[in-house]
Each structure stands twice: as structure tokens, then as C-alpha cells.
Amino acid sequence: MEIFSECFKKEHMLSKIDARVKILVSLAMLLMVLSYKGFTLPVLITLTCLFLCINMKIPLKVFLLRFSEPVFIASIILILKLFFSGKELLFSIPIPSSQFSLLTLTGYKDGLMDGLMIASRVIGAVSVVVVIGFSTPFTEFVAGLSWLKVPKGFTEILMFSYRYIFVLLDDAMVIYNAQKNRLGYSSIRRGLGSFGILAGSLILKVFEHSHNITVSMIQRGYDGNMPVLKQRPFKLSEIILSVVFITAMGIIWKI
């Protein structure tokens, strides 16, 4: 639960900025990062996001966990591009005791550059998403999406999903601890069986929770409209700073 909690979100430079402003700036940064043909902008945005995460005092464990999967994906892309794409030879290492040229380890310079460019885009885009996730409470984020006219069905499903992630996580921990106390994971074979039972139990609980919440909402007069936070007026200072930041990044993007 600590991994998903918001206990580390204290007062920081982004906490009082309107969620709508942060969403719009994040969308602009994502478009620039994904369309930029080079390394400068993605690296700059990654460093900026890293500074913001340090300012927000994000625990190192949580920070590394959030970046572990995108870094792994970026590394795989880089390796594939280096060895399987390109024409300009960078290095060629024959595998020891190999008599076949097909087993020679060959790297390509243009493949390496393409891989680095794609990897930098991945890390830069993930950095933007991570920062807005750390700095914006979920209710404000959903309210911002509603202001942007995101379909109501999507925002409602998003709210229910977010709510029941934690409910199902608690249920999973109860079942797991009960299995562990009964030596359900004492061997690989028993562990696989216990994990299958845990997964099946969670699926049943998903249907149970969905039925209960549907009945509860109908009994409370749910008519298809989910109330969200009321939006406060925009602050002129936030708009000016956002425009200046986007303009500065746009200039770098055009270079």
C-alpha cells in the first residue's frame, strides 16, 4: 500500500497550481517530447522532472519502482536498435569458438542513435506523467479531465478503478497472508497453486464488489452523473508562467 499511497505528497511548488494548468502543460510537453527528433528536449524535460521529484521529496523506492518498467522497455528498444537496425558499422565482435559469421555480434552506429532517441522519448514522456501523478491529487485530476470535456463514462470508470485498486489490494493481502501462514508458498508447486487460488478469489471479489456498488448507487438515486470538484477561477500568474514555460520549450523544440 505504501507504493500507491499519497502520504509523501507534501506542500511543494506544484501543489497549489491548478490541475487543469498542469494537465495542459503536461499534454504540451508530451507532444513535444514524442515529436522531437533529437535528444536535447527529452533529456532537458527528464532533468526538470527529476528536479521536481526531488523537490517533492519522493521516496527513492517509489521513484525507482515507477521508472523500472519504462527504463527496462527503453533498454530493450536500445539493444534491438543497436544490433538489428542500421547500416553504419560501429563494432563487430565474433563470438568465441564460433565458426559462423551469423553468430558475430555486430552493432550499428545509426541504430544506436535511433535507439537512444527513442529511449530518450520514452523516459522523457514517462517523467512528465510521473510528475503530474505525484503532484496532483486524483480527485483534482479527474475534475481537470471533466473540464477538458473528456467523456463522462471514461472519468467514472477511472474513479471506480482507482477506488477499487486499493480495495482489491487489501483483499489480496488478506488472502496472501492467510496462505502464507498456512505454508501455501513453502514450495514452487504449492506457491503456484496458492497464487492461482488468490487470482481466482480476486476475480470473484471483483464481480461481488461491482454488483454491490451498482445496487448501492441505484438505491442512492444515481442518474448517470457523477459529481466532481468545482473548478476555481484560473490565476493569471499560473497562466503566464505556463505560457512562458511552454514557449521556452517550444523554442528548444524548433531548434
Residues 215-243 have pLDDT tens digits of 888 888 777 676 666 778 888 998 999 99
- 81 lies in some domain: yes
Q: What is the average pLDDT value for the chain, to the nearest integer?
A: 85
Q: Are residues 6 and 129 in the same domain?
A: yes
- 228 lies in some domain: no
- 142 lies in some domain: no
Q: Are residues 214 and 249 in the same domain?
A: no
DSSP code, position 184? T
Confidence of residue 7 (pLDDT cuts 50, 70, 90): very low
Q: Are residues 242 and 130 in the same domain?
A: yes
Q: Are residues 11 and 101 in the same domain?
A: yes
Q: Which residue has the higher pLDDT, 195 or 99?
A: 195
Max CA-CA distance within the chain? 76
CA dihedral 137, 138, 140, 143 (to 10 degrees): 170
- 6 lies in some domain: yes
Q: Are residues 115 and 62 in the same domain?
A: yes
pTM metric for this prediction: 0.79
Q: Are residues 248 and 215 in the same domain?
A: no
Say what the pLDDT of residue 127 is: 94
Confidence of residue 1 (pLDDT cuts 50, 70, 90): very low
Q: Are residues 122 and 16 in the same domain?
A: yes
Number of C-beta neighbours around residue 18 at 10 A: 21
Q: Are residues 41 and 62 in the same domain?
A: yes
CA dist 203 and 66 (Å) reads: 26
Confidence of residue 71 (pLDDT cuts 50, 70, 90): very high
Q: Are residues 198 and 249 in the same domain?
A: no
The count of structural domains within the chain is 2
**Average pLDDT over every residue of 88-109:** 73
SS3 208: helix
Q: Are residues 208 and 241 in the same domain?
A: no
List Cα–Cα distances, 120 to 38, 78, 126, in angstroms.
9, 10, 10
Q: Are residues 91 and 156 in the same domain?
A: no
- Expressed as residue numbers, the domain containing 167 is 150-220
Confidence of residue 147 (pLDDT cuts 50, 70, 90): confident
- 227 lies in some domain: no
Burial tier of 50 (Cβ tally within 10 Å: 0-12, 13-18, 19+): middle
Q: Are residues 157 and 60 in the same domain?
A: no
